[in-house]
Amino acid sequence: MNQNSNLQHVTVLLDEAISALAVQPNGRYVDGTFGRGGHSRLLLSRLGSEGRLLGFDKDPQAIQVGKSLACDDSRFSIVQRSFSELGSELEENGWAGQVCGVLLDLGVSSPQLDEAGRGFSFLNDGPLDMRMNPEQGVSAAQWLALAPEQDIARVFKEYGEERFAKRMARAVVARRAERPFERTCDLAEVLSVANPAWEKGRHPATRAFQGLRIHINNELVDLENGLEAAFDALGVGGRLVTISFHSLEDRIVKHFMRRLAKGEADHLPRDLPVRSSIFEPRLRVIGKPQYASPAEVASNFRSRSAIMRVAEKLR
């Protein structure tokens, strides 16, 4: 692992997230997005000798850091899986329905962005990969080489919220006919030229790159499945803490928490016979959404878009 990438990583909303978990010293906890372990290390400092923490991550570099932490602290263990699969993992561990808290710090990590070889960033030229686990699935370059134009446009628009998605997709298909995309800066240049209205302070390829990354890693489907799995994993009184970095993620989290806080009945046909328990809230939203402080944003610009939401399981 590149040590520098570890040193460059700054955990967002560190104290706030761990405080929101209301840590019980002997409880069982899940860090669904271990990253470089900032949240996990602080959480472990609040646990007693009987407390346990299980980490999840798809990134092999994160797993390497996690295994090193596990060697130093027997209360911690880590698995290389998406947090969307935490249900089956907790079943195997005998933790199902007994977890005191689940933390999900969503999106891409600073080391992934900063290391050119991972292919996430248009600022550092590197191979166009974008996979959080480079050993699974297809790379961004492979997908762009074969995807139909309308699919590329859909990914840019739906996942990147790019208003010029069709123009960009058309430019991508036209250029790949000459030669395939293999480097991040090559793709960024084509996207930039295709974008007729550059936003001040934002690279013109930002939204398209976001959409492509989300698609390649199946991030939004993982989030939807992961939220359901996290709720099932929690015991009564257990806390779910999420940190989102863009509107698509936050919208999914907000709607999920709101739905379970109101009960499920509003999603059912009016004449459908149901048990009265389905009208009862299953989750309680704790406080208002929390954002990084001005001081944190000043020291870590990437925290500017972070939104933390907290909920507690009722039944």
The residue length of the chain stands at 315
Q: How many CA atoms lie within 13 A of 14 on its CB side?
A: 17
C-alpha–C-alpha distance, residues 228 and 284, integer Å = 15
Q: Report the binding-site residues for S-adenosyl-L-methionine.
A: 37-39, 57, 83, 105, 112
Name the binding residues.
Answer: 37-39, 57, 83, 105, 112
197-215: string of b/e by CB count within 10 Å (b at 16+)? eeeeeebbbbbbbbbbbbb
* Complete DSSP assignment for 79-148: ESS-GGGHHHHHHHHT-TT-EEEEEEE-S--HHHHH-GGG---SSS--BS---SSTTSS--HHHHHHHS-
